[in-house]
Structures are given as C-alpha cells and as structure tokens.
Amino acid sequence: MGLFDMFKGDAAPALTPKLAFASALLYMMSADGEIEQEEIGQLVSVIGGDRALLDDAVKFTRKVTLDQYLTQAPGQLNEAQKLCILINLCDSLLADGSAAPQEQALFGRFLQAFGVPEAQFAPHFQVIAIKNDRSVFGIR
C-alpha cells in the first residue's frame, strides 16, 4: 500500500449486465454535460426503482470512462441485452422530441461498440420516433 492510496477511494463496482444497463443510461444522460433532475427520475423508473443499482451506476460512471465502458460492456452482454440497452438509450435521447448532436454521436458509438449496424436498428428507431412524436396530438 502506497502512502497516498487512502485517497483513491473505492474501486468501481464490478460490471454486470444490470450495471451495464443503468450505466449506459447515465453516460447518455450526461452527454450534454449535465444530468437534469427529471432525467434521474426517468432513469429510476427505467431501472425499476432500484436505488442500489443507481448508486452503483453513479459510482461506476465516475470511475470508468466511456471508452473503457464501451470496450468492457459488450463482452458482458448477450444480444437481447445489447438491444434492450440500445432501445432504452434511443428512447431516452428522443424523449424530448429532438436529439442533440452529442447525443447522436454517442448513440452511434454505442451502436458500433455493440456491433449493431444503423440499418439493423432503423426499425426500432422508427417505432421510438413515432412513440415520442406527440405533435400528432398538437403537443410540443
């Protein structure tokens, strides 16, 4: 143990599929540089109110860079889990009716890391876009 090891803090929690899911959402929510309170509420809802999972995801994303996550996570996930994460990420970034350029770029990185071509994801994107298009009711 080095003299200053006590200041390093706790290590990141071990990556599991559940933690990969919650962490992916946190990485996406912070793509614009800040996480809004309503985004945290949405995240808590999506992960089933599991506060311990949320705490672990916050710890994980503080310790593990996005690049490290994108290298590590695909090997922890099966195809259904990857698709579930991608669909939830897309839903999250389109929830306000638009996708900021940094969110679009980040989503592209997730697609690439998870080995899912845009053309393969396109049908899911269309459904999510329709789901979030409240303008059909005159709502902005």
- pLDDT tens for 81-138 read 999 999 999 998 887 777 889 999 999 999 999 999 999 999 999 999 998 888 899 9
Report the amino acid identity of residue 73.
Answer: A
Output 62 or 94, whichever has higher pLDDT.
62
Q: Which of 82, 90, 93, 85 is nearest to 124 (CA)?
A: 90
Statement: residue 5 has pLDDT above 70: no
% helix, strand, coil for the chain, step of 5:
70, 0, 30
C-alpha to C-alpha distance for 72 and 80, rounded to whole angstroms: 17
Residue 130: both structure tokens together: 């329709």
Question: What pLDDT sits at residue 1?
Answer: 46
How much is the mean pLDDT over the chain? 90
